[in-house]
Structure 1
């Protein structure tokens, strides 16, 4: 697809036209760069600062001398910010949802059935309309019988009504418990019972799951479900026992007919109890104040250039995850339009998109997007696959364009000269950008580390900077964020202007703030985004949250960082991922996994080290397309993918690939897994083996594959 379009564009130029364009657009800037060139001078993005608490090396953002707390005057709570934005942008588009047209099921060659949906144009609600709906919902809650002194929970996929309900709760000063839609039964029961939720909101498709656990829920009194056009199944509502069940629209109608005066929250009140995705054990509920949300919102607004009501944001990540909730809070504050989609309908070729119809990005044409690395890796792999399949002239042209753009980003400013830029846009990159709508001007990436290769690839092919951020639920995503004009990769930027970043000694791992040439240590975040601790878990709260002599609150992340001379942070390790091998070497499992993930054969990976041995091993989820392509070329016979993964020559091929990427990443010999096991089933949030942000759940994977790991050490 991509390569075909390169060729169709080129046919209009003719051979001499192409040669002439390349000479003018490539050779002249190259000559100018040689004569006048030189790298752009770097700027200082973070500056050292003296702070309280444990001794260490601390930084603040270079652009702000004082920490910022609120995005605009008077907006000290989410309720106040919501009301201000809705009045300021009352007639502007706010929330958009695609019209449902139809659904069908396609049977694959192996007999499995796959759902395909046909979605139409986006239908929009204005800021004013959304404000009215939130107020109506808030009043309806009270009329339904919700006790304002109790909590409410949202257990749903991302959608417009999620945000409307969220803001509606704040109109009555109700604390919201957010729960992943993919959460298993045990964790769901734990979350609802621990927070003593009395009203639960869910998708209509979650009603069946809820009905199965009703007897285990201690405090739920009301269930409100979102209606789903074309797929609502509310037949189980009769099996909810004594619970009061109502649709979202029924609650809105109740409130519209009988308005209730608002009861607004305070800055330090708990807005959200957000349950972490639980990479180890049961999830913990993080208590997030209104002030925490506003601090991160205000800080990120200073990073995204010229953010305003002309921008369109594509929302598809889980709103129960801090990254997406923070991003949508920023868009709300800036008056942007938010169009909802899903990871399964994101592009024209996404799994659930009916053939011949359009994905969310094509229909919405967003200017701003968030992404987790797994999504960007898929975009990169998809583009490269198409280019490699075409081969020949189209592949060479793509590679030339990519190299020239790379030189522009990393070298002289002449490399970004306008004529050459326009040529590569027309000939190579325009069609690639159309995959995400063609108008992306800025991307926010978080949730997990993004590889330098993927970051560069998206920068160049999409023509947009990626702001790679670092933060945690415990800091409401607010810690560091790379700035739009920073062209480096592998770093997560300077501290956001709502807080400080401090590196403190971790002597056991050998990381010290006094390290030369760059300070290293455990990352500690201080400032207005640092949350109030864990719900009903004072012991764990006291372990990782500290208040210094000046009243500043700090969170100890467990991650290891390193400051660059310009004040930007690089994540280099994690304390929990460090294992000491039999002969005394320390191995960082996260570091090993990040290196191995760059192999074309690897879809997912977990490294494992037994301290009683002197080597590590790894579980590999192979990339099926790449591995099957190799098998066909190598004439390796197999009946199915599982059989292919068991073959000795397959394991050997993957092992050789891992050796190459390990060498390129400069891993030590003992860091390269001595043995690997190929596992064929993908790791998904539904399987419980990765989080909603696609980070591996190490303990769960170790438990599931205990026998396989033991055999690798046998």
Structure 2
């Protein structure tokens, strides 16, 4: 995992002398204030910390159930006594932190079109400072909106939908629904028309909350397919009149409803306030494996989940600032923001297009959201962290020899010190400070979820951003809660032990060759149990077979993921039932494993491995990294645009050779490595419908898009 560079022996010696002198002079303060010290970990070296017991089987059986060491007697399900519904969580926070900044939105100063060299036009923005609502103001806004919805005719226990980008108004609307016991149906803002219509019709909503942009570009196109819809509430202030909509549908502004709700005659709460077992959210999945399913999540489910997550975040409190940019319709982001609200943190809003100074919508020379907000906490899917890693590595390759050598020395030195449990204040200040500023410079914790994070990327984030990465595992069906690694455990490739709200069992999967009796580690399908396990799928009995209740009354969910439990109680995800394909010769190939390994290659921005059981080899669709592809083409004297290169047979062969070597170096088996590939010049984004909002591959859609290429690569054409 070390960076490689031809190092001048004299420079190497000089570096180590400087570091040794600094270490001797700074030993005492470094020892006392180390960010990764023995006092934090309870043990010194990385190897010792990785072996410290984190969970254990409460029955002694290798199949489990496994519980966190601090929860072996009972699972924990609430943050504060008596705070048992989500409206009470927010009420508690607004009473405790009334004047504290709660939700922040950057002011839009200017938006302009920027023409690119290829003739395309991109929207660029210049943004100002964050404008904040305090906890008291946010609570008041939510209460007024709740009363306005009730005055409009919305009834308790009747579903209401939200189809909106991540922003402060999303949270205000959600809290309003929790207050009045309106089950909130959440839909990804990137879902296609049929999926949106399916969710709205299945839940029989009459009211939907959305933004002006989504109304005009997506929702408006399917209104005639949703006959029950009566009210559309737009969170933007302008315009105030909305002509041209089908008869029976009225469009309102959020501010207008808040004004309605502020009137004394509309200010009383409904008689039916939520109880813990009431449905808080019907969360539609991203639809990565078919039609989105609505997961029914109760108030008590979400509170149990955020209780487990909060226990793994040390010193969480009102000094923290969280940056919200992932989809709030995803359980990871919703849970993370609820955790922050419960502890008085600030939440500043962003988007993937405005996150950093180099983001696509930020005008050159102006500041991205992380630079202005300087968050201390951030959640990220591996796709985003992989991009950061590749961008920094590309910039490092462009440095002069001296700078590149110094960076490599510092990186490898810090890696060694981290393994011993020591901090490196000199390297952090002189070498990694500039890299840290990419995310604002104050990040103290990154939470990773949604997909496996590669060891290379995790190590990079540990070293260059000078903070731990809490890698977690959970599903919508478990409120995003399952496991999160301890912040002082820097071991890679694992997702930590069970949270205090949940427990884990392993179920033998004989067909795949995984059993709890396997050595050295028990293996099997992961089952998650606890108060965070949700109520099942909405109007979908066929899929509810994945849920069951045991003899003690505890709910369990069968995840379909394959894991192994290490001797310290940590879980490692090693496979997935649906990703496992048996080739004609009998070898099993884990497509997810192949993709995770090959995405570490700098030439690959994204990859989808594919295998047909009637064939003897794997193929792949690859989105190449444009910069690296052009550089590689130049080396081989191949000319043309990005699209020309992707369609050039000689270039495809060159790329295949490079990624095959990378795969062999990463110890993939020969039969696991794609034998043929197709290069795609167009990136896969949620807008293309080929990946979810969490950047998970939509295999069925990818298969349909590249069907002709599949037939060609398998010899059919």
Length-normalised TM-score, structure 1: 0.93
Distance 1:38 1:114 in 2: 49
Partner SS, residue 238 of structure 1? coil
Q: How does 1:7-406 map to 2 (within 5 A)?
A: 21-25=18-22, 41-42=48-49, 43-50=52-59, 56-65=63-72, 66-208=74-216, 209-227=218-236, 237-257=243-263, 258-262=266-270, 263-406=272-415
Task: Give deviations 1:68-122, integer Å, cap 9, x for gaps.
Answer: 0011111111011111111111111111111111100000111110000111000
Residue 20 of structure 1 deviates from its aligned partner by: 5.8
Task: Give deviations 1:293-341, integer Å, cap 9, x for gaps.
Answer: 0001111111000000010000000000010001001001111010011
Distance 2:377 2:668 in 1: 36
Shift in alpha-carbon separation, 1:235–1:675, aligned structure 2, 3 A: farther
Deviates more, 1:40-49 or 1:687-696: 40-49
Shift in alpha-carbon separation, 1:612–1:440, aligned structure 2, 3 A: same
**Paired position in structure 2 for 1:528:** 531
Residue 580 of structure 1 deviates from its aligned partner by: 1.1
Asked if residue 428 in structure 1 is aligned to residue 437 in structure 2, the reply is no
Asked if residue 452 in structure 1 is aligned to residue 455 in structure 2, the reply is yes
Deviates more, 1:240-249 or 1:438-447: 240-249
Shift in alpha-carbon separation, 1:20–1:674, aligned structure 2, 3 A: closer
Kept after mapping to 2: 8 A contact 1:182/1:686: yes
Residue 466 of structure 1 deviates from its aligned partner by: 0.6
Distance 1:356 1:205 in 2: 27
Kept after mapping to 1: 8 A contact 2:66/2:503: yes
Kept after mapping to 1: 8 A contact 2:157/2:183: no
Q: How does 1:540-579 map to 2 (within 5 A)?
A: 540-541=543-544, 543-579=545-581
**Paired position in structure 1 for 2:707:** 706
Residue 477 of structure 1 deviates from its aligned partner by: 0.3
Residue 147 of structure 1 deviates from its aligned partner by: 3.4
Superposed CA RMSD in Å reads 2.2
Residue 397 of structure 1 deviates from its aligned partner by: 0.5
Q: How does 1:579-618 map to 2 (within 5 A)?
A: 579-618=581-620
Kept after mapping to 1: 8 A contact 2:622/2:680: yes
Partner SS, residue 262 of structure 2? helix
Distance 2:548 2:157 in 1: 29
Partner SS, residue 404 of structure 2? helix
Kept after mapping to 2: 8 A contact 1:273/1:535: yes
Shift in alpha-carbon separation, 1:38–1:178, aligned structure 2, 3 A: closer
Kept after mapping to 1: 8 A contact 2:163/2:187: yes
Shift in alpha-carbon separation, 1:27–1:385, aligned structure 2, 3 A: farther
Distance 1:691 1:102 in 2: 30
Q: Select which of 621, 624, 629 maps to 1:622.
A: 624
Task: Give deviations 1:18-41, integer Å, cap 9, x for gaps.
Answer: 7863341369999x99xxx96652
Distance 1:116 1:213 in 2: 29
Kept after mapping to 2: 8 A contact 1:207/1:237: no
Shift in alpha-carbon separation, 1:462–1:585, aligned structure 2, 3 A: same
Partner SS, residue 382 of structure 1? helix
**Paired position in structure 2 for 1:673:** 674
Residue 153 of structure 1 deviates from its aligned partner by: 0.5
Asked if residue 655 in structure 1 is aligned to residue 656 in structure 2, the reply is yes
Distance 2:443 2:618 in 1: 42
Distance 1:119 1:424 in 2: 33
Distance 2:616 2:190 in 1: 38
Kept after mapping to 1: 8 A contact 2:482/2:528: yes
Residue 288 of structure 1 deviates from its aligned partner by: 0.5
Residue 673 of structure 1 deviates from its aligned partner by: 1.1
Distance 1:306 1:285 in 2: 34
Kept after mapping to 2: 8 A contact 1:57/1:504: no
Task: Give deviations 1:252-291, integer Å, cap 9, x for gaps.
Answer: 0000123132442010111000000001221000000111
Partner SS, residue 41 of structure 1? helix
Distance 1:605 1:540 in 2: 29
Distance 2:291 2:714 in 1: 29
Deviates more, 1:463-472 or 1:200-209: 200-209
Shift in alpha-carbon separation, 1:113–1:38, aligned structure 2, 3 A: closer
Residue 591 of structure 1 deviates from its aligned partner by: 1.1
**Paired position in structure 1 for 2:465:** 462
Unaligned runs of 5+ in 1: 1-13
Kept after mapping to 1: 8 A contact 2:686/2:695: yes
Asked if residue 515 in structure 1 is aligned to residue 518 in structure 2, the reply is yes
Asked if residue 408 in structure 1 is aligned to residue 417 in structure 2, the reply is yes
Distance 1:398 1:322 in 2: 37
Task: Give deviations 1:336-363, integer Å, cap 9, x for gaps.
Answer: 0100111100001100001211110000
Kept after mapping to 2: 8 A contact 1:57/1:519: no
Unaligned runs of 5+ in 2: 1-10, 32-43
**Paired position in structure 1 for 2:40:** none
Task: Give deviations 1:669-703, integer Å, cap 9, x for gaps.
Answer: 11111111112221111111101100000111111
Distance 1:211 1:306 in 2: 45
Kept after mapping to 1: 8 A contact 2:159/2:204: yes
Partner SS, residue 197 of structure 1? coil
Task: Give deviations 1:155-198, integer Å, cap 9, x for gaps.
Answer: 00000010000000111110000001111000000000000011
Partner SS, residue 507 of structure 1? coil
Partner SS, residue 331 of structure 1? helix
Shift in alpha-carbon separation, 1:51–1:120, aligned structure 2, 3 A: farther
Distance 1:51 1:90 in 2: 48
Distance 1:425 1:311 in 2: 21
Shift in alpha-carbon separation, 1:256–1:386, aligned structure 2, 3 A: same
Residue 634 of structure 1 deviates from its aligned partner by: 3.0
Shift in alpha-carbon separation, 1:531–1:51, aligned structure 2, 3 A: farther
Distance 1:614 1:15 in 2: 49
Partner SS, residue 127 of structure 2? strand
Shift in alpha-carbon separation, 1:233–1:391, aligned structure 2, 3 A: farther
Distance 1:19 1:605 in 2: 40
Kept after mapping to 2: 8 A contact 1:21/1:423: no
Length-normalised TM-score, structure 2: 0.92
Residue 146 of structure 1 deviates from its aligned partner by: 2.2
Residue 668 of structure 1 deviates from its aligned partner by: 1.3
Kept after mapping to 2: 8 A contact 1:76/1:267: yes
